[in-house]
Amino acid sequence: MNIFGSEDPSKIFYNDTSFKIKRIKDSEDKFKLEINISQTAEEDFEINRTEENIIFTMSGFRKIFLLPDQLKRKEIEKAVLEDKKLTIIFGEKI
């Protein structure tokens, strides 16, 4: 049995990034982090933060996302889960 079926196994099957970081226009201190999430259960979604990680839990599964250095010392101002995308706005330094 071939798990790829008739597809070429050397083909690129996924061509997107799992996250993006953008500086918010007209601001030197604010950043937007967008994380693609494969499943969304907004009513069962929880987000927490440690110094170096964002930890989100949904439907009993936990995902730990290591923050890039430029966001580790920033405060979370807002987090929104919409259309399989978690958007987190980071602002002032902690």
**What's the whole-number mean pLDDT along residues 7-14?**
84
Phi-psi region of 18 (alpha: psi -120 to 50; beta: other; left: phi over 0): alpha
d(CA 73, CA 52) in angstroms, rounded, equals: 8
Amino acid at 22: K
Note the pLDDT of residue 1. Answer: 65
Residues in the chain: 94
Note the pLDDT of residue 53. Answer: 93
Note the pLDDT of residue 42. Answer: 66
Entry pTM: 0.75
* Band of pLDDT at residue 14, cut at 50, 70 and 90: confident
**What's the whole-number mean pLDDT along residues 67-86?**
89
Structure tokens at 18: 């799992």
Domains and CATH numbers, the chain: 19-93 (2.60.40.790)
The Cβ of residue 32 has, within 10 Å, a number of other Cβ atoms equal to 15
